[in-house]
A and B are shown apart, each in its own frame.
Chain A
Amino acid sequence: MLTLLVGCKNEAKTDGTTSSPATTEAVKEQGQAFIEDDESTPNVLQIAIGSPDHTTLVAAVQAADLENALVNAGPLMVFAPTNEAFDALPEGTVDNLLKPENKDALANILKYHVTPGNYSKDFLKKFKKLGQANDQNVMIVVEGDDVFVGGAKILGSVKAGNGIVHVVDKVMLPPEE
Chain B
Amino acid sequence: MKNLNYLICILFGLGITLSSCNQSQQTNGALASSAAEKVYVAPGEQDEFYAFLSGGYSGNLTVYGLPSGRMFKEIPVFSQFPTSGYGYSEETKPMLNTSFGFVPWDDLHHPDISQTNGELDGRWIFVNGNNTPRIARVSLSTFETEEIIEVPNSAGNHSSSFITENTEYVVAGTRFSVPVPQRDMPINEYKGNFKGALSFISVAPDNGRLNLEFQVLMPGFNYDLSHPGRGKSHGWFFFSTYNTEEANSLLEVMASQNDKDFIAAVNWKKIEEYVKNGGGTKMPANYAHNVYDEETHTGTSTMIKEVVTVDPTKVPGSLYFLPTPKSPHGCDVDPTGQYIIGSGKLSADITVHSFDKMLAAIEGEKFDGEAYGIPILKFEEVLAGTVKSGGLGPLHTEFDGRGNAYTTFFISSEVVKWKVGTWEVVDRKPTYYSVGHLMIPGGNSRKPFGKYVVAMNKITKDRYLPTGPEMEHSAQIYDISGEKMELIYDFPTHGEPHYAAGCPAELLASKSKKIYRLDENKHKYATIGADDARVERNGNEVHVYMSTIRSHFTPDNIEGIKVGDKVYFHITNHEQDFDVPHGFSIIGQGTSEILVMPGQTKTSLWEPKKVGVWPFYCTDFCSALHQEMQGYVRVSPANSNIDLSWSLGE
Chain A residues in the interface with B (C-beta under 8 A): 1, 4-5, 7-8, 11-12, 15, 18-26, 30-32, 35, 37, 68-69, 72-74, 76, 104, 107, 111, 116-117, 119, 126-127, 131, 133-135, 137
Contact indicator B23/A8 (Cβ below 8 Å): yes
Contact indicator A73/B459 (Cβ below 8 Å): yes
Q: What is the bound-complex CA distance between A4 and B430, given in angstroms?
A: 17
Q: What is the bound-complex CA distance between A69 and B433, given in angstroms?
A: 10
**Contacts of B19 on A, CB cut-off 8 Å?**
1, 4-5, 7-8
Contact indicator A30/B430 (Cβ below 8 Å): yes
Residues in B216-265 with C-beta less than 8 Å from chain A: 252-253, 256, 259
Given that A24-B428, A135-B348 are contacting pairs, would A72 and B27 also be in contact in the complex, using a CB cutoff of 8 Å? Answer: no
**Contacts of A1 on B, CB cut-off 8 Å?**
11-12, 14-16, 18-19
List the 9 closest A-B pairs by CB distance, nearest first. Answer: A1-B15, A4-B19, A21-B425, A21-B390, A26-B430, A8-B22, A22-B390, A135-B348, A35-B462
Given pairs A25-B430, A32-B434, 10 additional interface contacts (CB within 8 A): A1-B11, A1-B15, A15-B26, A19-B426, A24-B428, A72-B393, A126-B253, A127-B253, A133-B411, A134-B348
Contact indicator A69/B16 (Cβ below 8 Å): no
Mostly helix, strand, loop or mixed at chain A's interface? loop
Contact indicator B425/A19 (Cβ below 8 Å): yes
**Contacts of B461 on A, CB cut-off 8 Å?**
32, 35, 37
Contact indicator A4/B392 (Cβ below 8 Å): no
B354 at the interface (CB under 8 A from A): no
Contact indicator B434/A116 (Cβ below 8 Å): no
How large, as a class, is the contact surface on chain B?
35 or more
Q: What is the bound-complex CA distance between A31 and B213, given in angstroms?
A: 48
Q: Which of A11, A126, A131, A134 has the most CB of B within 10 A?
A: A131
**Contacts of A74 on B, CB cut-off 8 Å?**
411
Q: What is the bound-complex CA distance between A133 and B394, given in angstroms?
A: 12
Contact indicator B349/A31 (Cβ below 8 Å): no
Contact indicator A11/B348 (Cβ below 8 Å): no
Contact indicator B23/A116 (Cβ below 8 Å): no
Cross-chain contact of B434 among A12, A73, A111, A119 (Cβ < 8 A): A73
29 A–B contacts, CB within 8 A, in A order: A1-B11, A1-B19, A4-B16, A11-B26, A11-B27, A15-B26, A19-B424, A19-B426, A24-B430, A25-B430, A26-B430, A30-B430, A32-B413, A32-B432, A35-B462, A37-B461, A68-B412, A72-B410, A72-B433, A73-B434, A104-B390, A116-B393, A116-B411, A117-B256, A127-B253, A131-B259, A131-B326, A133-B348, A135-B347
B346 at the interface (CB under 8 A from A): yes
Contact indicator B392/A111 (Cβ below 8 Å): yes
Within the complex, the shortest CB–CB distance from B483 to chain A, in Å, comes to: 8
Closest residue on chain A to residue B426 by CB atoms = A18
Contact indicator A31/B428 (Cβ below 8 Å): no
Q: Which of A18, A19, A135 has the most CB of B within 10 A?
A: A135
Q: Which of A15, A26, A116 has the most CB of B within 10 A?
A: A116
Contact indicator B389/A21 (Cβ below 8 Å): yes
Cross-chain contact of B26 among A12, A68, A134, A135 (Cβ < 8 A): A12
